[in-house]
Chain A
Amino acid sequence: MKDPVNSSKKTSDKGGDRPLSGFFPRWMNINILAQDVGFFILGLIGASIVGWVIFPAVLYSKHPQPINFNHALHLDSEKVDGIEGETKAEKCLFCHAFRDDGTFVGIPKLESCTECHDDPESPLGETPEEKAFMTKYVANEEEIPWLVYSKQPDCVYFSHIAHVKMGNIDCATCHGDFADNEKLPLYVKNRLTGYSMNIWGKRISGFYWNKKFSDRMKMDDCARCHTEKGQEQNNACFVCHK
């Protein structure tokens, strides 16, 4: 294309070979268009793979809990005679208890475990998990570094007693049903925020057909529930922030 005059002439000459060639610009050539669409779709698919498959895989890391805890076993009053409570929630509250001042114990400390598992030499059951628990933690009096699925940011104040006792909300409503759970799920951590997937949404899409409160634990979810239950005054900032 050294000579702009010649080259333009050449183009128009070429176009003159076909009907309508003067009418449609060259880029509407169907072959070229098809190529464009093809590459566009290729990009689209590539992006979808990146966005839906690679990104979540990169964003989240999976961590097993330090040892397994069998909720189903511990809630079975036939096998564990220490556990008390009529309903599941009451049984939950046996270990995940309220203190006298109303604060919530959360994940019990080792001293709660050792009320029953007191002797590292004689485990109560036969599972390898218990053995590991006994030798690693009970014997060394070391707290178990549990990964907390529902750990909220430091700026959040959440009163369990207000919800569970005063609001009669079942534990499973927000946490999901752990009562029959024999194996603790993997802790899925968002690499960017450092928070568990349980908080920021179990589904990467953010869409749920029938959204349950246990699916997500973000501020919007708190507010939605407050509003639904006619507790709009509790959407004031300082009710849930500290």
Chain B
Amino acid sequence: MKLTRRNFIAAVVGGIAGIQATPLPWKITDDVAIWTQNWPWVPVPPTGEFTEVSSVCNLCPGGCGIAVKKVDERAVKIEGRTDYPVNPGGICPVGMGGLQLLYDESLRFTGPMKRAGLRGAGEFTEISWGEAFDILAGRISNLRKKGTPEAIAAVDGNPEGTTVSVLIKRLMKAMGSPNYVRPLSITDTYRMGNLLMQGTLAPMAYDLENSDYVLSFGCGLLEGWGAPGRVMNAWGMWHDGNPAKRKTRIVQVESRASNTASKADMWVAPKPGTDGALALGLAHVIIKSGQYDSRFVADHSSGFDDWRSLEGTNHIGFKTLVLEKYSPEQVAKITGVNPKTIVSLAKGFANAKAPVAIYGKGKDSLNGSLYEFMAVQSLNALKGSINRSGGVLLPDPIPLSNLPPLEVDAIASEGLKRPRLDQAGTMRYPFTDSLINNFTDAINRNPKSPVDTLLVFSANPFFTLPDGGGFKNALEKVPFIVSFSPYRDETANMADLILPDCTYLEKIDDIVWPTGLQYPLYGLSKPVVEPLYNTRNTGDVVIELSRAIGESVGSGFPWENFEEALQARAKGLFDAGGGLVSYDPDAPAWQRQKAGNGPKPGYKSFDEMWEGIQSGGMWYRPVSSPKSWQGLFNTPSGKFEFCSKLIAQAIEHYSNKISKKAALKNMGLAAIDDEACMAHYQAPKAGADRSVYPLLMLPYEMINLASGWIPSPPFLYKTIFENQLLKDKSFAAINPKTAAKYHLEEGELVVVKSPAGEVEVRINLFEGAMPGIVYLPLGFGHTAYDEFLKGKGVNPNNIVQAGQDPISGYPVWWNTPVKLVKV
């Protein structure tokens, strides 16, 4: 039989009819629908056992308690801990996004590496740890053999006092180099101010939670100052309940309507860099109205009234200085703040029961000005808000043990005698520990870099220093750079050798006294997950490196590993007695417990205490009663010094070497004699022709963008507004009036030009910006990392033209003259 067309059609019709009676069409339809729901590239997160590890966040010196949720071996979420004294429950957005820093592989170094491409290109080849140690130890030994150990330098971004920073400092000393420098932060300003006025060495301790009037001079309370978890928790507490019955008032002194300024009860906007003058204006009103704490001033302070020295010279006191030079009208001229506002502000401060004036500059990651700090601290002294609940507390330094004394060999002791490149601690900068801007200059000034090998720890000075790109140029000149960063940051991309640290979730590390906290706290962060890659804790690496160098360097590090060194220091905590290693949320650490009523330590031996610290992540001593005045101030006068004798001595000492005029000039002082020893306002040097650069550029920080050495977790870019970053352009916030003057409109492209450089941004018209000032956000403009961060916006640090703060020598990064040029 022949198969005709007709037959074929019949068969097909039969087939079609028949197939309907089979599961095929129906099953396929169903399965295809299901198939479209499960693409192979949509990840299916494996499930498993849910656990939680308590640790401490180490992304900033704030050290908030974190609970990391895990599914089997994977960390899946970071949450705030409610059983940690610093931050009862909350953390900041950076800490919240921390897992991206752990798991985004393209942000990280996966093992020790050697540079393969050009500097800055970020091309590396993986090497073994053994090879890495050989290269570095060989280089260091060579320099030591040549008798030039001072050509080794270290930039250490670990917070002061942490064990890893102590070990790095020790390594530098053992090798024989004095050139250990640190990126500056507000704690450096606090340290110097406290030393000069109070003679204390413990960190700044602001008792914010117990205060009823917080007068913040520039502290970005909601921008990430101090321990963000602590400050924002206090903020929530301050705003609880009926507004009429609210106990605490917050006043923000800042030139821009930041979150803190907007959310505060009152916002006062002086010109940038005139906060000190405003504080002195308040002092004027308070002294004039006699509302100051005369008992504190009389019993516990010196330099308030005019005085006559033993030699018979007359000296003016703080009172005379302030009354003469800082009347509301005079201050209004400097600051641009209405005299009436100054008076009402002073009244508010004077009438409060437990007022506190706090000083800062945005977050705590950049330095402030010494005299501004002194002016603010003088206000506290005037109201007796020192060593009083709700004011500035004067706790003892944290009782960590000193490491055994270090014995250095002949090479090292010769090297240590050589002058520091940054001149810190010389007569010119008598109270300064470290001055990274001078260090940079020293490299840039010399035709051949005086630094041969630069070690960079937990820092990204290429990006974070407000130096107009100075450090970047310095890096190009340094022959050999070693980075210990876990991240592929800008500085690491310039390095020749990478010895990557673990990220904060993979290692043990300590947090010593979160910035601004009013009680001593030692935090311990521990590994939440096993190291994902071939990275090692820098603490361990420093110890291993010392062994690889050998000789007397190696014998200075007798510990098996980093944890042993941590324990060696923590011994002191046990010996001091009385510290707590667990926290009860019902007894906040800032609440003064009645004597004998507070929680008990509950451990009997060091081992028990260490176990407690490891599991809870903390050792702390809650706020105790105010201390006895006896011996409280360790100043030459034994009292709080409105007029610092140490400054007077330093000027005199320097004047004996060179002329007084030259000495004052070198120290950056315009004032002379007594005024130079007291808080006073000194207009910063213009630094450029203001007719060419009529505007000022002020970098500002945001809590939802990391601006320090840590990269921002990509999640943070969700929180950035369209008028802060659009595609690859960040925005400069300027007042509509200023914009109108230069015929600029919202979103328009402009070049911000300063004597130090230029950056291209878009314009954001913002009523809350002070006229005449260009505000650029910090944290954008990375040239390293991956597509989430790279090339997004500009880094204002690149155009900062920083002068030097008198006496301290710290960079004045808030005074860059700029102009706007339309693109």
Chain A residues with CB below 8 A from B30, complex form: 200
Quick one: which of A48, A103, A194 contacts B21, CB cutoff 8 A?
A: A48
Quick one: which of A44, A59, A103 contacts B14, CB cutoff 8 A?
A: A44
- What's the Cα separation between A36 and B8 when bound, in Å? 9
Instruction: List A191-240 residues whose CB lies under 8 Å from chain B.
Output: 192-195, 200, 204-206
Chain A residues with CB below 8 A from B21, complex form: 47-48, 51
Q: Are A46 and B11 in contact (CB under 8 A)?
A: yes
Q: Are B11 and A51 in contact (CB under 8 A)?
A: no
Q: Are A50 and B14 in contact (CB under 8 A)?
A: no
User: Is A99 interfacial (CB-CB < 8 Å)?
Assistant: yes
Quick one: which of B6, B11, B31 contacts A193, CB cutoff 8 A?
A: B31
Q: Please give the distance in Å from B385's CB to the nearest CB on chain A.
A: 48
Q: Are B38 and A47 in contact (CB under 8 A)?
A: no
Chain B residues with CB below 8 A from A205, complex form: 23
Instruction: List B146-191 residues whose CB lies under 8 Å from chain A.
Output: none
- What's the Cα separation between A103 and B17 when bound, in Å? 49
Give the bracket for the number of chain A residues in contact with chain B: 35 or more
Q: Are B11 and A42 in contact (CB under 8 A)?
A: yes
Q: Please give the distance in Å from B197's CB to the nearest CB on chain A.
A: 54
Q: Are B23 and A46 in contact (CB under 8 A)?
A: no
User: Is B307 interfacial (CB-CB < 8 Å)?
Assistant: no
With contacts A36-B6, A103-B50 taken as known, whether A47 is within 8 angstroms of B18 at the C-beta atoms is: yes
Residue of chain B at shortest CB distance from A44: B18
User: Is B597 interfacial (CB-CB < 8 Å)?
Assistant: no
Instruction: List A171-204 residues whose CB lies under 8 Å from chain B.
Output: 190, 192-195, 200, 204
User: Is A146 interfacial (CB-CB < 8 Å)?
Assistant: no
Interface string of A47-83 (1 = CB under 8 A from B): 1101110011001000000000000000000000000
Q: Are A39 and B23 in contact (CB under 8 A)?
A: no
A52, A190, A193, A195, most chain B CB atoms within 10 A: A193
Instruction: List B1-49 residues whose CB lies under 8 Å from chain A.
Output: 1, 6-8, 10-19, 21-24, 26-28, 30-32, 34-35, 37-38, 42, 44-45, 47, 49
Chain A residues with CB below 8 A from B12, complex form: 43
Q: Are A51 and B31 in contact (CB under 8 A)?
A: no
User: Is A101 interfacial (CB-CB < 8 Å)?
Assistant: yes
Q: Are A47 and B31 in contact (CB under 8 A)?
A: no
User: Is A153 interfacial (CB-CB < 8 Å)?
Assistant: yes
- What's the Cα separation between A45 and B35 when bound, in Å? 29
Residue of chain B at shortest CB distance from A40: B14
Q: Are B23 and A43 in contact (CB under 8 A)?
A: no
Chain A residues with CB below 8 A from B35, complex form: 192-194
Chain A residues with CB below 8 A from B27, complex form: 55, 59, 204, 206
A37, A39, A101, most chain B CB atoms within 10 A: A39
User: Is A35 interfacial (CB-CB < 8 Å)?
Assistant: yes
User: Is A169 interfacial (CB-CB < 8 Å)?
Assistant: no
User: Is A154 interfacial (CB-CB < 8 Å)?
Assistant: yes
- What's the Cα separation between A194 and B49 when bound, in Å? 25
Q: Please give the distance in Å from A152's CB to the nearest CB on chain B.
A: 11
Q: Please give the distance in Å from A53's CB to the nearest CB on chain B.
A: 9
Q: Are A41 and B19 in contact (CB under 8 A)?
A: no
User: Is A20 interfacial (CB-CB < 8 Å)?
Assistant: no
Q: Are A52 and B31 in contact (CB under 8 A)?
A: no
Instruction: List A2-46 residues whose CB lies under 8 Å from chain B.
Output: 32, 35-46
User: Is A155 interfacial (CB-CB < 8 Å)?
Assistant: yes
Residue of chain B at shortest CB distance from A205: B23
Q: Are B49 and A206 in contact (CB under 8 A)?
A: no
Q: Please give the distance in Å from A48's CB to the nearest CB on chain B.
A: 5
Q: Please give the distance in Å from B597's CB to the nearest CB on chain A.
A: 35
Quick one: which of B6, B19, B37, B50 contacts A51, CB cutoff 8 A?
A: B19
Q: Are B19 and A39 in contact (CB under 8 A)?
A: no
Residue of chain B at shortest CB distance from A51: B22
Residue of chain B at shortest CB distance from A203: B23
With contacts A43-B17, A48-B21, A195-B34 taken as known, whether A206 is within 8 angstroms of B11 at the C-beta atoms is: no
Residue of chain A at shortest CB distance from B48: A109
- What's the Cα separation between A101 and B47 when bound, in Å? 14
- What's the Cα separation between A132 and B809 when bound, in Å? 73
Pairs across A and B, CB under 8 Å, 9 listed: A35-B6, A35-B7, A39-B14, A40-B13, A43-B15, A47-B19, A59-B31, A99-B50, A192-B34
Which A residues are within 8 Å of any B CB, using their own CB? 32, 35-48, 50-52, 55-56, 59, 99, 101, 103, 105-106, 153-155, 190, 192-195, 200, 204-206
In the A-B complex, the 4 residue pairs with the smallest Cβ-Cβ separation, listed nearest first, are A51-B22, A43-B14, A47-B18, A40-B14
7 new A-B pairs (CB below 8 Å) besides A47-B16, A195-B34, A200-B34?
A32-B6, A40-B17, A50-B22, A51-B22, A59-B27, A101-B50, A154-B42
